[in-house]
Structure 1
Amino acid sequence: MKKILPFLFLALFVLSLVGAFIFLATSKKMIVVQEGNFEQKPIEMRAGLYQDSDCGMVIDDLKDASQIISKDGKSWFFHDHGGFIRWLEDKNIKDDVKIWVISRDTKKWIDAKDAFYSLRDETAMGYGFGAYENNSEGFVSFDIMRLRMLRGETLRNPSISKKLLNKEN
């Protein structure tokens, strides 16, 4: 019996956490997927109302928000551009969606494939990819950002972070 108790406590703890997340999502009426967006236009989001489809966190800050919209009108929401890359990679719809990102410089929704990406912005999940409508030195294209994300070449990688941020330690 004494050997079972630690596992029982662990199981109860995990169930409590799962229950808390489910309670928060349902009590706040979080939007995880929105249907009916057949025009594939960006949905005006409000902070604290949407849940990130990749990590499940509440989207409290919209500065790096993004949306993926499928042809059947389903919209998924993200608070870090690296997250939508991760989430979309194994989906069978990945080549047939519209992706919108909020531009940090113009504060408008723009097509993710037309955006330019910084490699060193502070973002919700720490990947570092801020989206911009206007190009600047050191920014990369959507395809390069996607490749770097899939390779793990983000600010979450200590060697990449050190190189990009010129840290000495």
Structure 2
Amino acid sequence: MMKSLISLIVFACIAFTLISAVDMGEQKIYVVKGNKAKEPLEIVFDRYFCSQDRVPITEYFNTAQAIKPNGDTYFFNDIGSLFLWLERQEEKDELTLFVYAQDTERYVPARSAWYSRIEVTPMGYGFGAYEFQIYALADHYFDEMYTCAIRGETLWNPIVRRLLVENKL
């Protein structure tokens, strides 16, 4: 009798824990399917989550979107997160990529944007996108920034950070 009472209490505690752990709020969105127009989508803050880092997107600055050929749209809270995610994809050249430009405050094609390496970003990588080239700030190409991200040459690296801050890199 005592064993069954204890097992019933343990079962009730486990069931309560599982039920309370279920998110009853709005659904978290990591991917939106069916974007056949391959245009950047409007993000609902705190509901859309970064596909790489699994954190909520709380503002447009430094965000990015990647659209696969089938229309699946992935969201990123940091451009560095986009680069790391992109490295794992097989169809890199077939993806449509957008980054949020800080100078025009709209999404622009990532491959034609200009980049800065010293921005304050949500995940700390330091990559900021600009639609237009700004001498001595946003004068880096997409491929150059992609390579830097894959090599770990971001603001996370203390040596790279120091060289960038001192304007020696």
Quick check: 1:33 aligned with 2:35?
no
Q: 1:86 corresponds to which residue?
A: 84
User: Deviation string for 1:93-113 (max 9, x for gaps)?
Assistant: 222110011100000110000
Distance, in Å, in 2 between the alignment partners of 1:63 and 1:91 is 24
From 56, 74, 77, the equivalent of 2:75 is 77
Larger radius of gyration: 2
User: Deviation string for 1:22-76 (max 9, x for gaps)?
Assistant: x45x633111110010111100112212110001001112101110001101000
User: TM-score normalised to the size of structure 1?
Assistant: 0.82
Letter in 1 for 2:140: V
Q: 1:137 corresponds to which residue?
A: 135
Q: 1:153 corresponds to which residue?
A: 153
Q: 1:49 corresponds to which residue?
A: 47
Unaligned runs of 5+ in 2: 1-16
Q: 1:166 corresponds to which residue?
A: 166
Unaligned runs of 5+ in 1: 1-15
From 112, 115, 123, the equivalent of 1:114 is 112
Q: Any idea what SS the aligned residue of 2:98 has?
A: strand
Q: 2:94 corresponds to which residue?
A: 96
Distance, in Å, in 2 between the alignment partners of 1:152 and 1:137 is 24
Moved over 4 A (4+): none
Q: Any idea what SS the aligned residue of 1:59 has?
A: coil
What is the alpha-carbon root mean square deviation over aligned residues? Answer: 1.8
Q: 2:103 corresponds to which residue?
A: 105
Q: Give, in angstroms, the shift of residue 92 of structure 1.
A: 1.4
